[in-house]
Amino acid sequence: MSIIAQCGYGRSTKIQDGLAQGTIEGVILSPRDEKKDKLEGFAAELASDYPDAVVLFDPQFYASTIIGANDARLQEYDYYSSNLNRLNFPSNRLRKYVEDCLNYQHDDLGAQISYILSPTVLFDDFRDNWSQISLDLAIASADYHANLDDPKALLISLVFSEGALNSFDALEEYLDALTELEVAGFYVIVRRNSQSLSHSLESQAMAHLMYMTHVLSNINEYELIFGYTDWYSFLLHSAGAGHTASGWYQSLRQLSLGRFLPSTGGRRPRKRYSSLPMLSCPLIYPELEDIFQVGSLPQVLTGSQYDRILAGGPAAGESAWNDEDSCLHHWTSLSKLAAIIDGQATSVNKLNQAENLIRNAAGLYRNLEQYGVSFEASTGPSHLVEWQNGLREFRSLAGV
- The pLDDT tens digits along the chain (400 residues) read 599 999 999 889 999 999 999 999 999 999 999 999 999 999 999 999 999 999 999 999 999 988 777 888 999 999 998 888 888 888 889 999 999 999 999 999 999 999 999 999 999 999 999 999 999 999 999 999 999 999 999 999 999 999 999 999 999 999 999 999 999 999 999 999 876 777 778 999 999 999 999 999 999 999 999 999 999 999 999 999 999 999 998 888 888 777 777 666 667 789 999 999 999 999 999 999 999 999 999 999 999 999 999 989 999 999 999 999 999 999 999 999 999 999 999 999 999 999 999 999 999 999 999 999 999 998 989 999 999 999 999 999 999 9
What is residue 237's DSSP assignment?
A: H
Other beta carbons within 10 angstroms of residue 298's beta carbon come to 12
Q: Are 198 and 387 in contact (CB under 8 A)?
A: no
pLDDT for position 194 = 73
Query: How far is residue 321's CA from residue 314's CA, in Å, rounded to a whole number?
Result: 9
Structural domains of the chain ordered from first start: 2-260 (3.20.20.105), 284-398 (no CATH)
Residue 207: the pLDDT is 97
Q: How far apart are CA 260 and CA 223, in angstroms?
A: 27
The predicted structure's pLDDT at residue 265? 60
Q: DSSP labels for 193-217?
A: S-SS--S---HHHHHHHHHHHIIII
Q: Which pLDDT belongs to residue 368?
A: 98
Q: What is the pLDDT of residues 22-66, one digit of tens each?
A: 999 999 999 999 999 999 999 999 999 999 999 999 999 999 988
At residue 280, the 3 state secondary structure works out as strand
Q: What does pTM read for this prediction?
A: 0.95
* 377 CB-contact burial (10 Å; exposed 0-12 / middle 13-18 / buried 19+): exposed
pLDDT at residue 231, as a whole number: 95
Q: How far is CA 154 from the centre of its chain?
A: 19
d(C-alpha 331, C-alpha 328), whole Å: 5
Q: What's phi and psi for 267, nearest 5 deg?
A: -80, 160
- For residue 92, count other CB atoms closer than 10 A to its CB: 7
Whole-number pLDDT of residue 92: 85
pLDDT of residue 86: 82
What pLDDT, on the 0 to 100 scale, is given for residue 85? 86
Distance CA 298, CA 30 (A): 37
